[in-house]
Amino acid sequence: MSVADPLPVAQQVLGVEATDTQTEALRVAEFAKYKPTYHWDSTQEIELAGSTWRVLASAEIEDAEDTHFLDVVGMWTLSAETIIPPVDHTQILDPSSTEAQYPGNTDDSCNWNHSSVGETVVEISRVRRVLVPKRKGKDPLLTEDVVVNRLGSRIYARFIPVVANSADIPFYYPQVREYAFGYIEPEDKGHAASTLVILARELSPGSAVATKKQQMIWKDLIKRLYKWTVTERFGYQKRVEHDVMVDYETYTAKYQDLKAKYAAFWVDNWPEQTDPRKFVYEDIAIASWIICMWQQDSNNLRPSFVDLGCGNGLLVHLLTAEGYVGYGVDQCSRKVWTHYGQAVDLRAQTLEPYEYVADVDWIIGNHADELVPWIPVIAARSKAKFVLIPCCPHDFSGRKMTFPVVAGQSKYHAYSTYICELAERCGFGVEKEYLRIPSTKNLAIVGRRRVAEVSQTDIDTMIQAGKQDFVPRVPDSVKNEVRLAKVQARKQQDNDKSSL
CA trace torsion 322, 326, 332, 335 (10° rounding) = 30
Q: What is the DSSP letter of 401?
A: P
Please give the Cα distance from 288 to 260 (Å, whole number): 12
Range list of H helices, 3-110: 21-31, 66-78, 98-101
Q: What is the DSSP letter of 241?
A: -
Total Cβ atoms within 10 A of residue 374: 27
pLDDT, position 7: 34
pLDDT, position 447: 96
Largest CA distance in the chain: 96
The string over 261-284, giving b where at least 16 C-beta atoms fall within 10 Å of a residue's C-beta and e elsewhere, is: ebbeebeeebeeeeebeebbbbbb
Bridge-based pairing of strands 362-366 and 154-161 is unpaired
CA angle (309 as vertex; 369, 350 as ends), nearest 5: 100
pLDDT, position 104: 52
Chunked mean pLDDT (size 10), the chain, 500 residues: 34 38 80 94 85 94 92 94 92 71 51 60 92 89 95 93 93 94 83 89 88 92 95 75 88 92 95 90 96 86 95 97 97 94 94 92 94 94 95 87 70 88 94 89 94 83 78 67 78 76
Q: Are 6 and 395 in contact (CB under 8 A)?
A: no
Length of the chain: 500
Q: Are 140 and 149 in contact (CB under 8 A)?
A: no
DSSP string spanning 316-342?
A: HHHHHHTT--EEEEESS--GGGGGS-T
| Helices and strands, counts by H and E, the chain | 13, 16
Please give the Cα distance from 183 to 65 (Å, whole number): 9
Q: Indicate the residue type of 62.
A: E
Q: What is the DSSP letter of 24?
A: H
Q: Helices 66-78 and 212-233 sit at what angle, rounded to 10 degrees?
A: 120
pLDDT, position 235: 79
Cβ neighbourhood burial of 377 (10 Å; 0-12, 13-18, 19+): buried
pLDDT, position 492: 79
